[in-house]
Amino acid sequence: MSAELVPRVLTCSPPTPCEPETFNVVITGRQMDCEQPIFSVLSGGAGQKSGGDAAVRGGGDGGGGGGVAAAFSSPAATISDTESGIFSGESELCVEHESELDWFCGTEQKLICSHCAIVGSCNGHTVTPLATRVSSIRNQLVDVCEKMQLKALRIERFLDQTLTGKEQKLQTVASRTREQVLAQVSAAREALEEEEQRLLEEVQREEERVEQCLLTQRAHWSQALSALSQTRSRLVHTLTHTPDAQLVTSVQEIAERMEEAEGVSEPCDTDQLNLNPSCSDSKLLRNLWATAALLGPNALRSPYLKFDERTVSPLLSLSEDLCTLTFLHKKPRQSPAYDPARFDCWPNALGSQSMSSGTHSWMLDVGESGAFKVGVCYASLERKGSGNEARLGYNPQSWVLSRYDGDYSFCHAGKKVPLQVVTTPKRIGVLLDWPSQTLLFYEPDSSAVLYCTSQHFSAPLLPACAVTDRSITIVH
């Protein structure tokens, strides 16, 4: 410094709200219009940095930020600003003024001394105490590293839990699907040799596709996890080992690494990781399977299925052989003795055989009836009252094919699926395959499947019927 330089008290204006970490130093003549002496800011800088480091050490949540917080809570991370070299004699000195480089010029992105800001080349530039600048960068690095650690934990969980679970589920689902295909094909082996082979190959291809998807996902996310871990490790190393003077000049490199980390997307589960159940679907197989089960020489129909007399509504009459339900007009009706199993308002009746395993089928002669329902329900179906709880097809406990006013539909839980029926069926077959949770309605005269659905049946099922026109009969 020249001998003619008159010492002045350097003051600065406080940070603006939009730039909390910087302030402008402006010199007008030989005086500065400020509110706070700059050397009081310098002496307070150490406190600011210490407070910033304390915030860094306390940052992060209990899970994701543990690694970064631990790095700053170690003895090496709790050194003071003087010990770190910001205000020590070991810091570099300004070549022009031989003063300590304890300020950072945001305009020129370089370290400067206080004299550079007052009378030097950075007069009027935006300058920041070095301690404040370092504390800000460190806080940003802590936040970034914590986010990267949380993302790494999510990827690890996806790899260890989701993908592993998918692999295990794949084997179970593929095995069950394969068994279902083989069981159906065996019912009509001679006519379905080629169809059997085709379906097995389709399941195999689907299984291989899902397996390949799982392998691809595992490889992709393992690579992403490795890259994310490496980037995080480099940033943590930069955060904990880079000198302050070098740290503030490495912003571009740090930004590039942060951009790399942000480029790693979040893992997510997709349907591509599941076996497509339609791979075993075959219209030809379904029709022939139903034909064999209902009409073949080894038909699965039970000769013992009857209507349970206790459940028959007073609106219906039951034949002596317990196989025919006939709708009664008002005059001939009689009030039977009270029975908790009996439907009292809706014209319903249930079958006598409970089904909770194996494959079952039965045939009903609907004749000329213009209004009826045939299907299955849980034994817990409500029997009393005129509400939907006891109305077949209008609650979650019953599944029926319905005919009313010439229209056919499948009804469950109050929802109707309209059916296109070419010819009016005289007979309707019902097929329930418990292992595959499949319910199928069949028209034997045209060998057509009227409707097929896969459901999750959680309790034993009973045959269920309703009729409000003429009669329907169980055919043995």
Summarize pLDDT for 314-330 with one digit per residue, the tens. Answer: 999 999 999 999 999 87
- The string of DSSP codes covering 399-427 is EEEEEETTEEEEEETTEEEEE--SS--SE
Q: What is the mean pLDDT of residues 214-237?
A: 87
Angstrom distance (rounded) from CA 136 to CA 247? 11
> Which CATH number is 108's domain given?
3.30.160.60
Instruction: Clarify whether residues 312 and 453 are in a common domain.
Output: yes
Instruction: Clarify whether residues 335 and 275 are in a common domain.
Output: no
Cα 15 versus chain centre, distance: 46
> Which CATH number is 401's domain given?
2.60.120.920
pLDDT tens by residue, 168-190 = 899 988 998 888 877 766 765 67
pLDDT tens by residue, 267-279 = 888 888 888 877 8
* Secondary structure class of 314 (helix, strand, coil): coil
CB contact set of 239 (below 8 Å; sequence gap of 6+): 68, 71, 138, 141, 142, 145
Distances from the Cα of 448 to the Cα of 149, 287, 379, angstroms: 59, 7, 29
Residue 465 has what pLDDT? 98
Instruction: Clarify whether residues 177 and 252 are in a common domain.
Output: yes
Q: Name the percent of the chain lying above pLDDT 90.
A: 45
Instruction: Clarify whether residues 201 and 304 are in a common domain.
Output: no
Residue 264 has what pLDDT? 77
| Per-residue DSSP letter, 271 | G
Instruction: Clarify whether residues 317 and 436 are in a common domain.
Output: yes
61 or 259, which is more confident: 259
Instruction: Clarify whether residues 162 and 125 are in a common domain.
Output: no
pLDDT tens by residue, 428-464 = 999 999 998 999 999 998 889 999 999 899 999 999 9
Are the CB atoms for 95 and 13 separated by under 8 Å?
Answer: no
Instruction: Clarify whether residues 276 and 307 are in a common domain.
Output: no
pLDDT tens by residue, 56-106 = 333 434 334 444 334 333 333 333 443 333 334 456 899 988 899 999 999
Q: Quick check: 17 pLDDT over 90?
A: no
| Per-residue DSSP letter, 369 | -
* Domains contained in the chain, number: 3
* pLDDT tier at 332, thresholds 50, 70, 90: low
Angstrom distance (rounded) from CA 405 to CA 172? 45
Instruction: Clarify whether residues 429 and 361 are in a common domain.
Output: yes
Instruction: Clarify whether residues 117 and 40 are in a common domain.
Output: yes
Range of the domain at 450: 299-475
Are the CB atoms for 441 and 452 separated by under 8 Å?
Answer: yes
Residue 132 has what pLDDT? 92
Q: What is the mean pLDDT of residues 389-403?
A: 97
Instruction: Clarify whether residues 234 and 337 are in a common domain.
Output: no
CB contact set of 118 (below 8 Å; sequence gap of 6+): 8, 10, 25, 27, 32, 38
Instruction: Clarify whether residues 42 and 81 are in a common domain.
Output: yes
Inside any domain, residue 76: yes
Instruction: Please tell me the least confidently modeled range out of 18-22, 286-290, 452-456.
Output: 18-22
Q: Quick check: 11 pLDDT over 70?
A: no
